[in-house]
Structure 1
Amino acid sequence: MSSQDTVTVLIEIHATPGQERQARDSLLHAIQTSEKPGLISSTEYADLDDAGAFYAVQIWEDMDAFHAHMKDAAEGGMNEAIKVLREPPRTAVLRTIS
């Protein structure tokens, strides 16, 4: 694996008002407890200007590993975790430009 193969994924979620803690906890739980072959690292953030906005920046070995994870997540009942969100999670798949 070379660094050119890796991809960075930005995940953005927005909690339904009043559900901020549950959304934050769901994000952390999902990242910390599910198996993610190909995940190199994940760092989670809270938006200082929006108490209901949370982000995760993940580094994956390659696009195939990320897509396999997303397929597994969709089949694994992600619906329960997104009940506290005001909209579906957003993702952006990024690659370093040089």
Structure 2
Amino acid sequence: MSRQGTVTVLIEIHAADGHEQAARDALLHAIQTSEKPGLINSTEYEDLDDPGAFYAVQVWETMNDFHAHMRDAAENGMGEAIQVLREHPKTAVLRTIG
């Protein structure tokens, strides 16, 4: 469950054929090395049934923090990282239900 006021984001990427390891490495490198003010937690996953599918579930302090990070990523090299992907990363902003 998310803390009150936080934002949970699901990031989904799919590697281009033959670039599965490069996409995995790029995702982990981006998570581990870039400064992300407002990021509370990030957990990365790979799909056992699709070796080229990777996911990150991130919890952010605010929606503004997440949007600021995405702007920064777009301005600072995300274009390089997506060259090993089949398509642009997909993001979904989530909230708990129930």
Per the shorter chain, which TM-score range? over 0.9
Runs of 4+ aligned structure 1 residues displaced above 2 Å come to: none
SS in 2 for 1:43: strand
1:29 alignment counterpart: 29
Kindly, what percent of the aligned residue pairs are identical? Answer: 77
Q: Which has the higher strand share?
A: 2
Say whether 1:84 aligns with 2:90: no
Corresponding position of 1:63: 63
* Structure-1 residue corresponding to 2:13: 13
Compute the RMSD of aligned alpha carbons. Answer: 1.2
What 5-or-longer segments of structure 2 have no aligned partner?
Answer: none
**How many pairs are equivalent?**
97
- Matched residue SS, 1:12: strand
Please list the CA deviations of residues 44-92 of structure 1 after superposition, one character each: whole Å capped at 9, or x if unmatched. 0000110100000000001011011011111112100000001000000
1:96 positional shift: 1.7
